[in-house]
Amino acid sequence: MHFGAGIFGLTGGVKIHTNPSRDSNFFNLSVNDGGFGGIETAGVEFGGRWVFKDGARFGLHYQIGIAGVISIAPEMEDQVYDGNAPDASLVMGIGFSW
């Protein structure tokens, strides 16, 4: 299970790894809140980690998938989607992990 918070929102979910290694590929089932109530999505992603040095813990974390819109504030829908938000969209993430 995972939970995270950032400047613009929150996320939580479950990662299902393809083998016992913490560096294995994974499927991520998650719920995201962008803009603290601005938009809420639920999605499934596939990702993994690329560790820079054998035996090290520090590496690059990446994932890509699709997320369905659960709810969206009218103001955000107007600003981001010109008043017509899609039912789902492509999502991706990249960052460092240890």
Q: Is the pTM of this model over 0.85?
A: no
pLDDT of the residue at 23: 85
Phi/psi of residue 27, each to 5°?
A: -110, 135
Q: State both tokens at 37.
A: 């109530």
Q: State both tokens at 72.
A: 């969206």
pLDDT digits (tens, 9 = 90+) for 81-94: 999 999 999 999 88
pLDDT of the residue at 63: 94
pLDDT digits (tens, 9 = 90+) for 34-81: 888 899 999 999 999 998 887 788 999 999 999 999 999 999 999 999
Number of domains in the chain: 1
Domain range holding 9?
Answer: 2-97
pLDDT of the residue at 56: 80
